[in-house]
Amino acid sequence: MTSKRIYAAWAGIHFFLITVICLRGIFALVATDATILPSALNTSARSGEVVLASVLGKDLAASNPWRLGIATYLHAAGSQAGYGFFAPNIPAYYKLILELYYEDGHIEYDVPHVQGGAAALRLDSLLDRLADPLYEPLREVTVKMLVLSVWQEHSDVKKIRAIFGSVNPPNISDFEHGKRESFQPLFSYDFSLRNEENQSTTQ
């Protein structure tokens, strides 16, 4: 009976943490006005999200054992994120186009690529994250690494301009009227590869 109670207690804590993670995800969607719910609820949702974050120890110091313990456990259990895939709406699709400037003056275009379809799905997942304001501090360094991966295949390139933008597919009625997807640049970076200096511009 004692071992049963231990199992039951573990299940209680386990599902409590998972429920908190999931509710936090839902509150975050409402707080950012991404749902069909009235905007009047945004503030309450934001407060709810903060409370749930504190349950997970997110307001504690980064080195706090309680916070580290919860985070490690949730990652180990594969439950560190909620389950709002493709929700509340389908996110935009993002593309990184690379303009390769060669020594002789000619320009070629390329994109970061992988061999298999499963890895391509992961590359798209990476590009989606780059558009997220949460990942803004990592954007430049990640783009730089993606550029570097392409540069290794084109060692005679003098400069690479990386243009990151969203691809806006037409809705059903626009498609019926002949409209096709359009590319909207969001920001670009110029990488001078010889001296490893780069300049960035944001649109």
Partner 1 sequence: MKRLRAWGNDLMGFLFPLETDRWLTVLRIGLGLQVAVYALFLKNDWHYLFAGTGKGLVSRELGEAITSLDSPFIPKLGWLVALGGHIGVGEEMVLSVAWAGLLCAGCFLLLGLFCRPAAIIAWFLHLCAAESGGLLAYGADNFTTMGLFYLMLAPLPDRYSLDQWLVNTEPKDPQLLGFWQRVLQLHMCIVYFTGGLAKCLGSGWWDGSNLWRALTRPPFNIISPDILIRFKYVLPVLGISICLLEVGYIFFIWMKKTRLVWLIGILGMHIAIGLTMEMYLFALVMIVLNLAAFGVDSGVLFLRHRQRVRAVFPKQLSQ
Where on the chain is the footprint of partner 1 (CB under 8 A)?
A: 4, 7-8, 11, 14-15, 18-19, 22-23, 25-26, 29-30, 34-37, 62, 67-68, 71-72, 75-90, 93, 112, 114-126, 129, 135, 138, 141-142, 145-146, 148-149, 167, 169, 171-172, 175-176
Question: Which value, in Å, is the radius of gyration of the alpha carbons in the chain?
Answer: 22
Non-local (6+) Cβ contacts of 172 within 8 A are none
Of 51 and 71, nearer to partner 1 (C-beta) is 71
Phi and psi at residue 83, to the nearest 5°? -120, 30
Q: Of 35 and 198, which CB lies nearer to partner 1 in the complex structure? A: 35
Cβ closest to partner 1, residue 104 vs residue 149: 149
Which structure tokens are listed for 166? 């969203």
Q: Which amino acid is at 118?
A: A
Closest approach of partner 1 to the CB of residue 102, in Å = 22
* Distance in Å, CB of 79 to partner 1, minimum: 6
Q: Residue holding tokens 């389908």?
A: 90
DSSP 8-class letter at 42? H
Cβ distance to partner 1 smaller for residue 3 or 104: 3
Contact of 98 with 150, CB cutoff 8 Å: yes
Quick one: which of 119, 116, 104, 94 has its CA closest to 169?
94
> Cβ 130 to partner 1, closest distance in Å?
8
Instruction: Find tokens 């749930």 and name the residue.
Output: 52
Nearer to partner 1, 107 or 122 (CB): 122
Closest distance between partner 1 and the C-beta of residue 163, in Å?
17
